[in-house]
Structures are given as C-alpha cells and as structure tokens.
Structure 1
Amino acid sequence: MLLGEEEVPEKGFKITTWVGERGQHYVEVASKNPLNKEELRKFYSAISDLTGWKDTREVMVGIGKWGLENHSTMRYDDYAETER
C-alpha cells in the first residue's frame, strides 16, 4: 500500500515522506487533480539538490488504488549513509 492512498485533499496536493527498510528515502505526491510530469521532475530534482540524495527512477505519474487521485513516488538513496 502506498502511503498516499490515504485521504487526499480536494484542492491542492499531499506530500508524504518515509524511510524504507534499507535506509532509502521515499517522497510521494498525491492529488485529486492531474499532476504535471515536468513540474514533478523539477520538484524531485530540487529535493535531490537540497538533501544530496540521489534519485533512483524516472518520474512517473500513476492513478491511485481507487482511481481517485494521481500520485507519483520517487525513491532516493542517501549515499552519505550507504558509504559508511
């Protein structure tokens, strides 16, 4: 289950973050409205620039479990953590 499949506001969007079992970082964006793939790419890139985390996948936009919200998730590896 994706964390963003919880309640999403009617207007705007919801951003959820969590850390995976192996220390990878996830950032999910969910909205009731269509998400712009290019704007998401810029958003995920800015997170990488700010944190030093490396993104590990292409930007994709999918439909939530119930088809009610658009969501996108990016996985980041924290190389500072994994190089220790």
Structure 2
Amino acid sequence: MEQFFSLYFGQDFDLFGDTVPEIVESYKKDCPHHYGDLIRELESFRSEHPDDLEFAFKRSFSHGFRPEGAGYTTASFLDEVQRVLDR
C-alpha cells in the first residue's frame, strides 16, 4: 500500500491520470501481477481501522493526493480504488 499511495497518489499523481479510476487503471497496467496483493492490503487496513479509518489513512498516506479534494471521503476513496482494482 505504501508504494501504491506514495507513487500513484503522491505529489505527482496527475502523471498517472486525471481521475481516481484512471490512476488506479494505470497502476493495474503497470503492475498486473501485484494488484491482488494491494486488494488484500486494503481490506486488511480497513479491518484494522474500523473506527479511525480517516485518521489512520491521513497519518500513513498523505503524500500529495487528498481524497476530500476530489470529492471523496477516505472510505469512499478506498471503495473507489478497490472497485477499480476488482474489475
């Protein structure tokens, strides 16, 4: 997760797309053998932080992209990432 968020949603996230789905699709294209691991990591992160998801996410992954700036909550952003990964 750290590599995914720091690279694809870091300071230069716009190099990978203009929307969350575009950025996640770019990751899937670049890392076709690893995105299953990311799905499991996302699920684990969410289950470890059921009551403090937003705080835990911001503490761990606030490298440039802010989900709320794109109209997401932390939970809806992670839902969107997982939805695109699951396609």
TM-score by length of 2: 0.29
Larger strand proportion of the pair: 1
Larger helix proportion of the pair: 2
Tell me which structure has the larger Cα radius of gyration.
1
Tell me which of the two structures has the higher relative contact order, counting C-alpha pairs closer than 8 angstroms and 6 or more residues apart. 2
